Amino acid sequence: MKDVYLKQFKEKERRFFNFFQPLAEEVTSCESPEVGFRSRAEFGVFIKQNSLNYFMIKDKKKETLDYLEICHPKINGLMDELKNTLRNKTNLLDKLFSCSFQVSKGGESVICLNYHKEIDQEWEKSATDIANILKTNLIGRSRKKKITIGKDFIQENYDLGDENLKINLYENCFSQPNPYICEKMLQWTRDAKSHKDDILELHCGIGTFTLLLSRLYKQVLATENSRPSIRGLEDNIKVAASANISHARLSGKETLEALNEKRIFRRLSNINIKDLKLNSVFLDPPRTGLDEYTKTNIKKFDTIFYISCGFESLQKDLQSIKTHRIKKASFFDQFPYTDHMESAILLERI
């Protein structure tokens, strides 16, 4: 497994270095553990002889599985325990079509069961027994209904060497799937910062980087377009007791339109954005990259942090940002055994 991993890692590293070495002052890379690195996973399920079976789609075909080496050992253990515990539990197996698992490095877990039927109090009573047996948080979802047994999140503790960062990871919100690589990305961000003025963060999600940025900068303005993620961010700000984070539910483009006084948003009415000294911007957009308005308007910032999970879209975006030089570029192997490449880029105005 190690040899297979290193071969694919070296190939992605080669692609990354070939592109960035002529452009960047510093180019680095970071390996992932070759097994047990993935902390969340979702599987389709089918029921056969009153027993739960897991599958994933590979080459457009269902592939049955009971174990995945890439998953955290806790996930593999829960997959087996859930299958054994649900055997012959007709009311919990009926119309079940998928399930997801999320775990922390410390062993917390949440399982979500998704149904093509309405779940009710009878379901909740049976599911509570299962949650107690497995010692896990458990969620049931059906159309327009959610039942939570325990919590709908786990707390991850990122070890940054000389400090820790705790954050609640919510079941229905995006979070970094590889916590070991996420720790390295957080360390890179901390070490790359160059001043202590205010910073704008676009696509902030539940606040994984937001909480760190609040320790590094005087004020943080963080925006995100997803309602569940914004609720998660608000909870994480409260848990961390961070007093220097302002936030709003806005897309990246909408945020920049507000800063440019092109549009007025009631969602920003409690934030005096004119008082913020925003010399830096931190971006973590979708895999498709940045829209044209954002690419044009981030050029006014002295410093740009660009986190990307789409290497091709990153290359394209950087070609249009000629106002800045690439000071640091790092490849983080967030997604081993796939072609996907996670990148972290620091750009400074020329």
Tokens linked to 275: 């008082």
φ and ψ of 209, to 5 deg: -85, -25
Contacts of 9 (CB under 8 A, 6+ apart): 31, 32, 333, 336
Whole-angstrom distance, CA of residue 233 vs CA of residue 23: 35
List, in sequence order, every residue forming a beta bridge with 114; answer none if it has no partner: 98, 141
Query: Is 99 labeled as catalytic in the residue annotation?
Result: no
287-294: long-range contacts, CB 8 A cutoff, minimum separation 24: 287/313, 287/340, 288/313, 289/313, 289/314, 289/316, 289/317, 290/252, 290/317, 291/252, 291/253, 293/253, 293/256, 293/257, 294/202, 294/252, 294/253, 294/256
List, in sequence order, every residue forming a beta bridge with 115; answer none if it has no partner: 96
Tokens linked to 170: 């919510």
Helical (H) or strand (E) element with 210: helix 208-216
Active-site choice (156, 254, 257, 342): 342
Query: Is 204 labeled as catalytic in the residue annotation?
Result: no
Read off the DSSP letter of residue 297.
Answer: H
Whole-angstrom distance, CA of residue 172 vs CA of residue 108: 16
Active-site choice (13, 309, 312, 348): 309
Tokens linked to 180: 């070991």
Tokens linked to 56: 């994933």
| Helix, strand or coil, per DSSP, at residue 43 | strand
Whole-angstrom distance, CA of residue 327 vs CA of residue 25: 5
Q: Which residues are catalytic?
A: 309, 342
